Structure 1
Amino acid sequence: MSDTGTDTGTGTDTTAVSPDARRLWLRGRGLLTALALLVLAGALLGLLTSGDDGSLDPRSATQHGSRAIAELLADRGVDTTLTTTAREAAAATGPDTTLLVVRPEALTDSTREILRRAASDTGARLVLLAPGQAALDTFAPGVLAAGPATVEERQPDCADPVARRAGSARLGGYGYVPPAAEGTGCYPVSGLPTLVTLPTGPAAGETVLLGAADLLHNQHLDEDGNASLALQLLGARDHLVWYLPSGEEAPGAAEEESLLGLLDPGWRWATLQLALAVALAALWRARRLGPVVTERLPVTVRAAETTEGHARLYHRAGARDRAADALRAATRDRLAPLVGVAPAAAHTPEALPAAVAAHTGDAPQAVHALLFGPPPGDDTALVRLADDLDALERRVTPDATKGKDHSS
């Protein structure tokens, strides 16, 4: 005769249900992978957008900086003053000054007017890098902008001594249509010059329009006649005011149109029609809720499968307290009639433990802790509790256990 029961004293036959490292990895690998991709994308975006490239900054030695031309000008005795606001640039401008405006298109109308007035009143030489039509309307009224065209090496094709001394240079970008018989135009693209010099103001000043700023970049300064042309344009006078506008000089919110202002006025009617279409589609496809209908299940689910399903749910949710309560309640229901306790008193901690202890010979305190004790602290303790409850129930019904052993 062999004992088919489980030894609850040592717990060697218990089944460990705590998740191991492999199971934890399988559960969390999707979230970890998504988090890693998010961090990688953020780091890559930060690298691509980190910092300023120093474009046209006379202090920058990067490819798009202009430190090389600034040093060449300093070697020829030209004093360069870097300013970041229009008022600073206007205050530093004088008759012996060349005022270089790096991004005239990025300025507000009021900022452009400050610079125009400073150059016109003092007779300074005003050099504009790639001005568009908005900037031309302030600095050079009557001049029209066209393009932009490809920036590449071009021949001067004009009689201007500055351009003829420099020879071929890297130009393109905007082409300009100056007023008739005014100024000179060189380096044409499709018949339109990309370098225009115009006389301005009563104080013998002049305005220079440069269609592209590439020849001032460090990486292109030593190509063709770029250095010669840049030195002649910026070093014609003893003092150079290099105006590099900061973010404060950008167009203000009052001068910008909102996104809705840029849309066609009919967008409101289109949005209303779309909302009505969505509402009608929702009414058409919505689920109609009626009275509850009961129907027979197509299959019969075995009680063992239901129990295993509940166990898996408890395990997944970590609900050891509810699982332990269910095990203890079922054991108390089965033990109460066996020890002569009324069903109504089966779940009272005063009557049942004493009756069970009288049948098994165990200490009432031990039986009480087993049937009404605190929830287990981990999954292993929960499995051990189930084994101990099963062993207690077998000790209350020893004859049934022996019968099962004998029949086996």
Structure 2
Amino acid sequence: MSRPATSATSTAATPAQLWTRARGAALVIALVLIGGIALATVRSTDSHGALDPRSADPKGSRAVAELLRSHGVTVTLATTLDEAASATGSGSGSGSTLLVATPDLLTHTQQSALLGATRNSGGRTVLVGAGRSSLPILAPAVTSATSIPVENRTPDCTLTAATRAGSAELGGERYVTDPAGPADTCYPADGLPTLVRLPGPGTTDTVLIGSPDILHNDRLDQQGNASLALQLLGSRPHLVWYLPSLTDASATADTPDDDTTGNFLALIPSGWLWGTLQLAIAAVLAAIWRARRLGPLVTERLPVALRASEATEGRARLYRKANARDRAASVLRGATRTRLAPLLGVPAQAAHSSDHLLPALSARLPETTADPRTLLFGPAPADDTALIRLADQLDALEREVRTS
């Protein structure tokens, strides 16, 4: 009797299944790309960045630069340390005002060179947002404290520029000064100033501004921001607006120190660091959420009826993939013994015992040509051909018992 042909069943995923699995990740990637392109498009319309005296965007400083020019102050933009030092030295009389937009971007070598160029220049140095990376060299008598949000604050000091301007929007970095020192401390936040003036030799002085908001285009017309900015930056006839750049050749001349990682992290905006931390926390929470869904197994009805032939074929494919001929032969023999036992009058608990099953089988089929012991309790097949032969012989033995 010929065996029925089995239909080949492919286990490869179809294109529809692949799309169903990948569409979520594809959607996320598409949203990220669209967001990046949109952000790049919006930013491409701005030729300059924050605190740039040429920029007319909300965070730029073109408005205050134009106001200074209208009051007779010459504004010179410098993007390298050499340009800043040269332009500062070109001032005459009472010197020049040097505004350093982001002093924390300067390396230690650059900070030392900048301090040497302005120490006895007779001018004013304005440091915007100076923190722990720049204060030890540029303003060693001052240390930074925890930053604070920008708010409308009152001067609470005797500095002429502050008293004339009145309340202004300050915050950001807060500073700790020596109470016995000659510093002017203004616009306090929780007891610590956000604006400090440090007098130097002669007419030289240094001004620390905790945040750049009073110089931004979108904040200049609020409170006394414009008045305070004009008085701090327009006290000399010449203003050098220094925008430190990571492409400045002088930045590569700094000797690497032991805190290389800290210096690198200092160059990364704090928003990126906080964003990375939030993403990491979100990833951990998502992993915990997904892990909680993998609870204990429960029994439920299958949504469709699964044919026995498909289940048998699937299990056979797994055995073949793992080369588990011994396991497959054991399953075939065990199933045959289980079916033969009730036909031979052998109890179910003795179906897998050769001492009980083989005598009953010999009594039922005294003239059979098959070797029941080898078929039902023999060794594992050596190859796939022997396994198929074993399956055929077991089927033939079972049919012979049923027809006897």
TM range (shorter): 0.5 to 0.7
1:321-357 per-position Cα deviation (integer Å, ceiling 9, x unaligned): xxxxxxxxxxxxxxxxxxxxxxxxxxxxxxxxxxxxx
Greater mean alpha carbon deviation, residues 249-258 or residues 140-149: 249-258
* CA 1:24–1:150: 2 relative to 1, 3 Å: closer
Using structure 1 for the length normalisation, give the TM-score. Answer: 0.55
CA distance in structure 2 between the aligned counterparts of 1:175 and 1:241, rounded to whole angstroms: 25
Deviation at 1:159, TM superposition (A): 1.4
Deviation at 1:170, TM superposition (A): 0.5
Aligned to 1:233: 232
* CA 1:144–1:34: 2 relative to 1, 3 Å: closer
Aligned to 2:85: 90
CA distance in structure 2 between the aligned counterparts of 1:37 and 1:177, rounded to whole angstroms: 46
1:44 aligns with 2:35: yes
After TM superposition, list the pairs within 5 Å mapping 1:138-177 onto structure 2: 138-177=137-176
SS in structure 1 at match of 2:330: coil
Within the candidate set 246, 253, 256, 1:254 is matched to 256
Query: Which amino acid letter does the alignment assign opposite residue 57 of structure 2?
Result: T
Kindly indicate whether the alpha-carbon contact (under 8 Å) linking 1:176 and 1:194 is maintained by their aligned counterparts in 2.
Answer: yes
* CA 1:178–1:33: 2 relative to 1, 3 Å: closer
1:111 aligns with 2:110: yes
SS in structure 1 at match of 2:194: strand
Query: Which amino acid letter does the alignment assign opposite residue 190 of structure 1?
Result: D
Structure with max Cα Rg? 1
CA distance in structure 1 between the aligned counterparts of 2:209 and 2:117, rounded to whole angstroms: 20
Deviation at 1:46, TM superposition (A): 3.7
Aligned to 1:309: none
Kindly indicate whether the alpha-carbon contact (under 8 Å) linking 1:120 and 1:203 is maintained by their aligned counterparts in 2.
Answer: no
1:295 aligns with 2:330: yes
Deviation at 1:211, TM superposition (A): 1.2
Greater mean alpha carbon deviation, residues 241-250 or residues 25-34: 25-34
Deviation at 1:182, TM superposition (A): 1.1
CA distance in structure 2 between the aligned counterparts of 1:69 and 1:75, rounded to whole angstroms: 10
Query: Which amino acid letter does the alignment assign opposite residue 330 of structure 2?
Result: E
1:79 aligns with 2:74: yes
1:29-81 per-position Cα deviation (integer Å, ceiling 9, x unaligned): 55466445423322213434664872111111111111110111111111111
Kindly indicate whether the alpha-carbon contact (under 8 Å) linking 1:63 and 1:217 is maintained by their aligned counterparts in 2.
Answer: yes
After TM superposition, list the pairs within 5 Å mapping 1:63-74 onto structure 2: 63-74=58-69
CA distance in structure 1 between the aligned counterparts of 2:157 and 2:18, rounded to whole angstroms: 74
CA distance in structure 2 between the aligned counterparts of 1:191 and 1:36, rounded to whole angstroms: 50
Query: Which amino acid letter does the alignment assign opposite residue 241 of structure 1?
Result: V
Kindly indicate whether the alpha-carbon contact (under 8 Å) linking 1:152 and 1:171 is maintained by their aligned counterparts in 2.
Answer: yes
Aligned to 2:306: none
* CA 1:212–1:72: 2 relative to 1, 3 Å: same
CA distance in structure 2 between the aligned counterparts of 1:203 and 1:161, rounded to whole angstroms: 18
CA distance in structure 1 between the aligned counterparts of 2:83 and 2:177, rounded to whole angstroms: 30
Q: Unaligned 5+ residue runs, structure 1?
A: 1-22, 263-287, 301-408
After TM superposition, list the pairs within 5 Å mapping 1:8-407 onto structure 2: 28=19, 30-31=21-22, 34-48=25-39, 51=43, 54-94=49-89, 95=91, 96-179=95-178, 180-200=180-200, 202-249=201-248, 254-255=256-257, 256-258=259-261, 292-293=326-327, 294-297=329-332
Query: Which amino acid letter does the alignment assign opposite residue 195 of structure 2?
Result: L
CA distance in structure 1 between the aligned counterparts of 2:203 and 2:160, rounded to whole angstroms: 19
CA distance in structure 2 between the aligned counterparts of 1:83 and 1:299, rounded to whole angstroms: 89
1:63-121 per-position Cα deviation (integer Å, ceiling 9, x unaligned): 11111101111111111111111111011103531000011112110111111111113
CA distance in structure 1 between the aligned counterparts of 2:135 and 2:141, rounded to whole angstroms: 8
Kindly indicate whether the alpha-carbon contact (under 8 Å) linking 1:122 and 1:203 is maintained by their aligned counterparts in 2.
Answer: no
Query: Which amino acid letter does the alignment assign opposite residue 215 of structure 1?
Result: I
CA distance in structure 2 between the aligned counterparts of 1:258 and 1:292, rounded to whole angstroms: 59
CA distance in structure 2 between the aligned counterparts of 1:65 and 1:28, rounded to whole angstroms: 46
CA distance in structure 1 between the aligned counterparts of 2:323 and 2:199, rounded to whole angstroms: 82
Query: Which amino acid letter does the alignment assign opposite residue 161 of structure 1?
Result: T
Kindly indicate whether the alpha-carbon contact (under 8 Å) linking 1:87 and 1:114 is maintained by their aligned counterparts in 2.
Answer: no
SS in structure 2 at match of 1:74: helix
CA distance in structure 1 between the aligned counterparts of 2:139 and 2:24, rounded to whole angstroms: 58
Kindly indicate whether the alpha-carbon contact (under 8 Å) linking 1:101 and 1:129 is maintained by their aligned counterparts in 2.
Answer: yes
1:195-232 per-position Cα deviation (integer Å, ceiling 9, x unaligned): 111112x4521100111111111111000000000000
* CA 1:58–1:28: 2 relative to 1, 3 Å: same
Query: Which amino acid letter does the alignment assign opposite residue 239 of structure 2?
Result: L
Using structure 2 for the length normalisation, give the TM-score. Answer: 0.56
* CA 1:299–1:231: 2 relative to 1, 3 Å: farther
SS in structure 2 at match of 1:172: strand
SS in structure 1 at match of 2:260: coil
SS in structure 2 at match of 1:236: coil
1:119-159 per-position Cα deviation (integer Å, ceiling 9, x unaligned): 11322210001111331111111212212122100111111
Aligned to 2:4: none
* CA 1:209–1:28: 2 relative to 1, 3 Å: closer
1:236-281 per-position Cα deviation (integer Å, ceiling 9, x unaligned): 111111111112256879345349x99xxxxxxxxxxxxxxxxxxx
SS in structure 1 at match of 2:145: strand
* CA 1:182–1:29: 2 relative to 1, 3 Å: same
* CA 1:79–1:29: 2 relative to 1, 3 Å: same
